[in-house]
Amino acid sequence: MRKIIGLSILFFGLFSCGSDETNEILNAELIGEWKLTEAYISAGGPQYWVDVENGEEFMFFENGLFNSNRFSECTTGTFSTEQNELLLRYNCNGFESGSENEDGYITYDLNFEFDYFIITPSSGPICIEGCSYKYRKK
């Protein structure tokens, strides 16, 4: 009986902190400069990747801040990750992109690969046929 209780405590202990550790790993992987290089689009038919010239850039810092040239009206903010979701909050007074959720974050589904990540909008106007954006580390 003691073994069952001990194993149960160990099992729940391992899984109770897993989410925070995953978020810390995702945050660490984001640190650095990233450039938009490809977009996954559709013109009413099958989706396909297209190259993006002069794509927007993000710089993520260890302290949870980021810089971006996506919006000329506001270039700084805070970021975090939660279970494979990227949350961005721009910090300029009165700035709204139109893509924020009810909590003021622009959110994306986040998928990491070897030397790039792909984000898919999960707040604001969502692409009906789907859209994703590939960023490569600079």
Q: What are the tens digits of pLDDT across the range 41-73? A: 987 888 999 999 999 999 999 999 999 999 999
Q: Does domain 2-137 have CATH number 2.40.128?
A: yes
pTM over 0.75: yes
DSSP per-residue string spanning 5-44: HHHHHHHHHHHHSHHHHHHHHHHHHH-EEEEEEEEEE-SS
Residue-averaged pLDDT of the chain: 87
The pLDDT, as a whole number, for residue 18 is 54
The pLDDT, as a whole number, for residue 45 is 84
Q: What are the tens digits of pLDDT across the range 3-48? A: 444 434 433 343 444 556 767 777 889 999 999 999 999 878 889 9
Domain ranges of the chain: 2-137
Cα 35 to Cα 57: distance, rounded to the nearest angstrom: 4
Mean pLDDT confidence for 83-101: 96
